[in-house]
Amino acid sequence: MIDVVARALLFPLLYAQAQRVRSGVEPLPEPPGRRAGREHRGAEELRVLVVGDSSAVGVGAPHQDVALARPLARRLAQRLDRTVRWTLLAQTGLTSAATLAFLKARDVPEADLAVVVVGVNDITNQVPLAQAIKRRGEIAIWLEAHAGVADVFFPALPEMELFPSLPQPLAWWAGETSRRNNRAQARWAALWPLTQPRVVHVPMDGVMRPDLMAGDGFHPGPGLYERVGVHLAEVIGRDVLVRQETSEETQ
């Protein structure tokens, strides 16, 4: 709650700083490269969607090969000894609501699980937190209904106070707001009433490294994408194996 009060008191300064950051940072392009493919490993196949905003699409990396989606698929294939068929459906600037609209306007392939990377643009566009979380639930339900997705993973937001491009007190406020988002998303996932699709909040504590950010000071660079991909592959891979073992035991 302190971040809400601070925002009210500091709004003129925070607004001015945010405008300077927006105007002073040269937008980075979305990296070239394939946005779908297969990482061959084993006979069984896992179908993965990576959905969301500029961090999902890999802004800050020079190519999709060192961004998020394909390296994540490669690591999952190695960890699970499966072939991973992956599809990237993402675009710079998407909020949670815009991500849902983006998906609805496209032919989304069937998949087993999805990784949905959203939230930073909800903060920068001042989307009310309850509204943003509601839209994430709608994303999960839509993915199950239209792509057969059974499990939807929502990574936590990074520690935004560590973004090199943000001056104080804007950095402090962004960090407090991102933590509030993460707490709310974790509670929402824990109380999710549906058995399918299942939603999972993925903590990202300790992954962020300011020295591995891209030149704009706002997006990950290749080294940070690598850390994110390793962490997500570990969490998702462990989850897939546990669910597989549970399923086998109940048969």
Domain containing residue 68: CATH number: 3.40.50.1110
Domain housing 37: 2-250
**Average pLDDT of 71-82?**
96
**Average pLDDT of 55-64?**
98
**Average pLDDT of 177-201?**
97
Q: Number of structural domains, the chain?
A: 1
Q: Give pLDDT tens digits for 121-142.
A: 999 899 999 999 999 999 999 9
**Average pLDDT of 81-98?**
97
Q: Which residues pair with 113 in a beta bridge?
A: 48, 151
**Can you give the pLDDT at residue 24?**
65
**Can you give the pLDDT at residue 248?**
63
**Can you give the pLDDT at residue 148?**
98
**Can you give the pLDDT at residue 251?**
56
**Can you give the pLDDT at residue 235?**
98
**Can you give the pLDDT at residue 42?**
82
Q: What is the per-residue DSSP string for 68-110?
A: SHHHHHHHHHHHHTSEEEEEEEE-TT--HHHHHHHHHTS-PPP
Other CB atoms within a 10 A radius of the CB of residue 110 amount to 12
pLDDT for residue 3 is more than 70: no
Residue 160 and residue 211 in contact, taking contact as beta carbons nearer than 8 Å:
no
**Can you give the pLDDT at residue 5?**
55
Q: Is 197 exposed, middle or buried (0-12, 13-18, 19+ CB in 10 A)?
A: buried
Q: Judging by DSSP bridges, how do beta strands 83-90 and 45-52 pair with one another? A: parallel
> Can you say whether residue 215 is alpha, beta or left, with left for phi > 0 and alpha for psi between -120 and 50 degrees?
alpha
**Can you give the pLDDT at residue 68?**
98
Confidence band, pLDDT 50/70/90 cuts, at residue 26: confident
> Can you say whether residue 148 is alpha, beta or left, with left for phi > 0 and alpha for psi between -120 and 50 degrees?
left
> Model's pTM, two decimal places?
0.93
Confidence band, pLDDT 50/70/90 cuts, at residue 40: confident
Residue 87 and residue 50 in contact, taking contact as beta carbons nearer than 8 Å:
yes
Q: What is the mean pLDDT of the chain?
A: 92
Tell me the CA distances in angstroms from 40 to 5, 75, 88, one per residue in order.
Answer: 51, 11, 17
For the four alpha carbons of 182, 185, 191 and 192, in that order, the dihedral sign comes to negative
What torsion do the CA atoms of 181, 185, 188, 192 make, to the nearest 10 degrees?
160
**Can you give the pLDDT at residue 7?**
58
Q: Give pLDDT tens digits for 93-121.
A: 999 999 999 999 999 999 999 999 999 99
**Can you give the pLDDT at residue 107?**
95
